[in-house]
């Protein structure tokens, strides 16, 4: 059956501004990219659809920021702009200053990579403070921020991106730029520019489930085990392995109907000073495509239904939650996986498990393989610890066949196994920093990102405080 169509008349679109670099999306990768390019002397505009920056940290309420570890030589693994952001947040009261300094202080030994939670350390952040910290950093760095605006299409000249079209209350406008950086998380601009991409599992396209984080009060929850290797036999059966037994029992009793999760995943303090207020990661919305508006709509609604179910579960089964109550849900659902833009190199699961090294490394990273079950109910996620960090090469940020465009964040070039590790927020900030630095360097050298000398990029990243591996 032919799909009904209408004709949209051609029109002239006013150019709002011309800049060196335009960054699409103000999440962890976007803020890293914008700050990096501005520090290199570029004029930078950052376009964000929400009324605040931070992406999954703020809009989706994912307030536990992980992936912090130390390299083989004891240096902090992720440094640079990620460190600057977390220290800024600590200064205004949005995260424990002691915790921040702990993850950014070198150690005099090789880590075991079994320390911390799930092989890394986490920083419990307050999303509301993060909004303020990022506002202040953008002002200090001279980044022009446009909120409440969607980056909808690239401005194309053949296979080269010349900027973006945005839609806002002010209508449709264009921003022209020498380099465009796609930090939308879903690779929207890259895909609409014609870049090839993969999405989901090869066999069925299924992506990791989405999650509606929620905040509860009166939830003085004792610490839960997050170490895969820890002996849990001494724990009460319903509490064992993050309430795995309780979740199974509640499902058998018909008390959990909508949520396919097998465990009560995490309940992070929203603020260390008030431990009875928790940000809870428990809901799972499967079989939805984050690039499809109908699926997103269904996911948001189902997510909220699961939250009600989850609060009832907490009151009955979770220690310290007899009188827990719902405080809030975030502005949007949390998304783990969508498009993976095909780049000049595709990072693989074998790469991350073998601690792969690359001559064009722009970020050292570690987080366990963490594939939340895409389709099955009550079945565990795939979790596998890594024995050492791995390199992420610059080529993963350069889309095949499209010029003047870089991608950063979870949409870089990788397979589904690699994505399950590099998608974490600290890594995304570092990927953004690399993209912003690369864009500025390419402009200053009158080259395209594809033509860039990665060794020069690595030198600048190192000089700016980032860790791009030993031997630089």
Q: Average model confidence (pLDDT) for the chain?
A: 95
Share of the chain above pLDDT 70, in %: 96
Dig out the tokens for 80 from the structure: 């640079």
Please say if the pLDDT value at position 231 is more than 80. Answer: no
* Angle, helices 80-91/425-444, rounded to nearest 10 degrees: 120
Q: What is the pTM of this model?
A: 0.96
Please report the pLDDT score of residue 271 as a whole number: 84
Mean pLDDT across 225-252:
76
pLDDT digits (tens, 9 = 90+) for 369-426: 999 999 999 999 999 999 999 999 999 999 999 999 999 999 999 999 999 999 999 9
**311: which residues sit within 8 A by CB, 6+ positions away?**
214, 216, 324, 325, 326
Q: What is the pLDDT of residue 210?
A: 98
**Of residues 117 and 302, more confidently modeled:** 302
Q: Is pLDDT of 469 > 60? A: yes
For residue 226, pLDDT over 80 is answered with no
- Per-residue pLDDT for 238 more than 80? no
pLDDT digits (tens, 9 = 90+) for 300-347: 999 999 999 999 999 999 999 999 999 999 999 999 999 999 999 999
CB atoms within 10 A of CB 144: 16
Query: What domains can you pick out in the chain, each with its CATH number?
Result: 15-203+337-369+387-463 (3.50.50.60), 214-328 (no CATH)
Mean pLDDT computed over 88-102 = 96
The reported pLDDT for the residue numbered 472 is: 47
Helices 425-444 and 28-39 meet at what angle, rounded to 10?
Answer: 30
Asked if 397 and 461 touch (Cβ cutoff 8 Å), the reply is no
Q: What is the mean pLDDT of residues 153-179?
A: 98
Positive or negative torsion for Cα 319, 208, 345, 195: negative
Name, in order, each residue with C-beta under 8 angstroms of 258's C-beta and a sequence gap of 6 or more. 302, 305, 306, 309
3-state helix, strand, coil split of the chain in percent (to 5) is: 30, 25, 50
pLDDT above 90 coverage of the chain, percent: 90
Predicted confidence band at 156 (pLDDT cuts at 50, 70, 90)? very high
Nearest-angstrom CA–CA distance, 209 and 298: 13
- Identify the pLDDT of residue 289: 97
CA distance 364 to 76: 10
* pLDDT score recorded for residue 234: 66
* pLDDT at residue 264 greater than cutoff 90: yes
The residue ranking higher by pLDDT, 117 or 428, is 428
């Amino acid at each position: 059956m032919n799909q009904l169509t209408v004709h949209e008349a051609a029109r002239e679109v006013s150019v709002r501004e011309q800049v060196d670099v335009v960054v699409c999306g103000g999440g962890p990768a976007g803020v890293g990219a914008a700050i990096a390019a501005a520090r290199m002397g570029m004029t930078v505009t950052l376009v964000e659809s929400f009324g605040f920056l931070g992406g999954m940290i703020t809009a989706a309420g994912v307030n536990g920021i992980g992936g912090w570890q130390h390299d083989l030589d004891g240096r902090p693994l992720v440094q640079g702009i990620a460190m600057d952001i977390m220290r800024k947040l600590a200064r205004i009261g949005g995260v424990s200053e002691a915790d921040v300094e702990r993850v950014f202080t070198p150690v005099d030994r090789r880590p075991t990579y079994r320390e911390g939670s799930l092989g890394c350390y986490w920083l419990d952040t307050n999303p509301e403070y993060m909004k303020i910290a990022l506002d202040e950093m953008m002002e200090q760095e001279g980044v022009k921020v446009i909120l409440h605006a969607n980056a909808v299409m690239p401005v194309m000249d053949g296979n080269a991106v010349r900027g973006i079209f945005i839609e806002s209350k002010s209508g449709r406008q264009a921003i022209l730029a020498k380099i465009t950086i796609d930090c939308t998380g879903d690779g929207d601009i890259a895909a609409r520019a014609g870049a090839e991409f993969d999405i989901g599992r090869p066999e069925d396209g299924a992506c990791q489930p989405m999650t509606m984080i929620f905040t509860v009060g009166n939830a003085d929850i004792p610490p839960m085990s997050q170490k895969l290797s820890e002996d849990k036999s001494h724990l009460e059966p319903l509490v064992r392995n993050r309430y795995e037994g309780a979740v199974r029992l509640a499902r058998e009793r018909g008390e959990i109907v909508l949520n396919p999760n097998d465990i009560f995943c995490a309940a992070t303090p929203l603020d260390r000073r008030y431990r009875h207020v928790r940000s809870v990661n428990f809901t799972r919305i499967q079989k939805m495509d984050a690039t499809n508006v109908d699926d997103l709509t269904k996911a948001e609604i189902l997510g909220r239904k699961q939250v009600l179910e989850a609060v009832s579960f907490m009151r009955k089964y979770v220690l310290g939650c007899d009188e827990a109550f719902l405080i809030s849900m975030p502005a949007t659902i949390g998304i783990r996986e969508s498009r993976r833009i095909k780049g000049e190199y595709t990072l693989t699961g074998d790469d991350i498990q073998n601690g792969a090294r690359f001559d064009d490394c722009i970020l050292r990273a570690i987080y366990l393989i963490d594939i939340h079950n895409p389709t099955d109910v009550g079945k565990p996620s795939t979790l596998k610890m890594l024995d050492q960090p791995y390199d992420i090469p610059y080529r993963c940020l350069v889309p095949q066949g499209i010029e003047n465009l870089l991608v950063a964040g979870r949409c870089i070039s990788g397979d589904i196994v690699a994505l399950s590790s590099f998608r974490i927020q600290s890594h995304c900030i570092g990927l953004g920093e690399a993209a912003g630095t690369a864009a500025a360097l390419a402009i200053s050298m009158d080259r395209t990102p594809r033509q860039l000398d990665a060794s020069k990029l690595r030198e600048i990243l190192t000089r700016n405080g980032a860790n791009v591996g030993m031997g630089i």
